[in-house]
A = this chain, B = another copy of it.
Amino acid sequence: MKKILMIAVAIAVTFSAYAQQALFGGQSIVSPEINPDNTVTFRFVAPKAIRVQVTGDFLPPQKMQTSFGEYDGPGYADLKEGENGIWEYTTASPLAPELYSYSFVVDGIKNSDPNNVYQIRDVASVTNIFIVGDGRGGLYGVKDIPHGSVTRRWYDSPGLKTQRRITIYTPPGYENNNQTYPVLYLLHGSGGDEEAWIALGRASQILDNLIAEGKAKPMIVVMPNGHTQNPAAPGESSHGMFKPAMGGGGATSVASMEDTFGDILKFVESNYRVKKNKANRAIAGLSMGGMHSASISAQYPNTFDYIGVFSAPPVVATMGNNQNQDAANEFMKKLETQKKNGYKLYWIACGNTDFLFNSVVESKKKMDEIGFNYVYRESPGGHIWENWRIYLSEFAPMLFK
């Protein structure tokens, strides 16, 4: 039977090769190629193009002007045309282990790499990705180790009067034992949804790898959708295939993430074998999800022993030029209660070029004034997924110990 199927496959291959050649110009080159020394070569076939560039986060950033002042924009590099219209560029030096994203720019028009099917969507932009050396600490690659399960399912939110989609990571072995587990609630930013931490954050790979190495305790990771006007990620609900936008798009929400977080807690604790106490609950998030983590952990006192605020000011009212003293005071009262109730870890992480960096500094001052303990982790870089993957890699090992 095996032999027969191989014949079938051979026929199908021939057939398909023709079909694809017609559609896509028969490009069969390798791109990107990660060379043995960790330099990376990009190739693009464009016999008639005048200029082909690659832009991505592996290139030195170029300065650009924004209303927030000078900002590090993406870098560009020129590919050089060789034989048969194949353009090529190899990085000047080896790349550090990391997940990188890039696109080509062909005569001024952005294009994806037709030889690389690996892409990620960040808000409304789709870019190609590649990973050098399995990423930071080797944590982003898939290895021959036990793997957790990742489930997309729907929970009932009475507070939002709808079913909502949620992504759940259960650790290796969960289905075949009777243990109870601690839970990390992991929240996305303004541009994300319940797919963001899995796709951009490599959360399942990071957890699988940390757990296999004995560096993190086996835990359930719950990734809800933080835009309460949306039942699910773009394309995954009856809202249809809408164009993703920061803030989740224009639909109207009937209640806030904070006020309806109890629906998620209830769903998880009645549907999974979890340890239902403060010592076994953590909440963390990036940007808007970091603000959510701060506000939810304050609004549900005595619920979380571990709080992670990534690239966001815990005291949201101190942000930028939109300071709201009444709101800040009200929140500080909640923090006083949270302090009194106690917690094991309040972890604030921020990049030193993040556009929210100063707001984080302001928040820390406010917290210092009332003696609110936190651990502060400052990293290089800005408001980017590279940092959020690192923060998750560092935060998860500190939990439930």
Contacts and interface: CB of A to CB of B under 8 A. Distances in A.
Nearest to A189: B12
A383 interface: yes
Nearest to A324: B4
B13 A117 contact: no
A144 interface: yes
Interface SS of A by simple majority: mixed
A319 interface: yes
Interface residues of A, number: 111
Contacts of A66: 15, 18-19
Interface string A153-182: 110000000110100000000011000000
Given A4-B316, A18-B66, A22-B64, A149 B147 contact: no
Contact of A12 (B9, B48, B103, B190): B190
A73 B19 contact: yes
A117 B295 contact: no
A12 B287 contact: yes
A110 interface: yes
A355 B19 CA distance: 12
Contacts of A319: 4, 7-8, 11
B125 A20 contact: yes
A92 interface: no
Interface of A: 1-20, 22-25, 30, 46-49, 55, 64, 66-68, 71, 73-74, 103, 106-112, 114-119, 121, 123-126, 130-131, 141-144, 146-147, 149-154, 162-163, 165, 175-176, 189-191, 232, 234-238, 240-241, 243-247, 256-258, 271, 287-288, 291-292, 295, 299, 312, 316-317, 319-320, 322, 324, 327, 355, 383
15 contacts: A1-B299, A3-B327, A8-B190, A11-B355, A15-B68, A15-B355, A15-B383, A16-B246, A18-B71, A22-B73, A23-B110, A24-B125, A114-B125, A130-B241, A151-B151
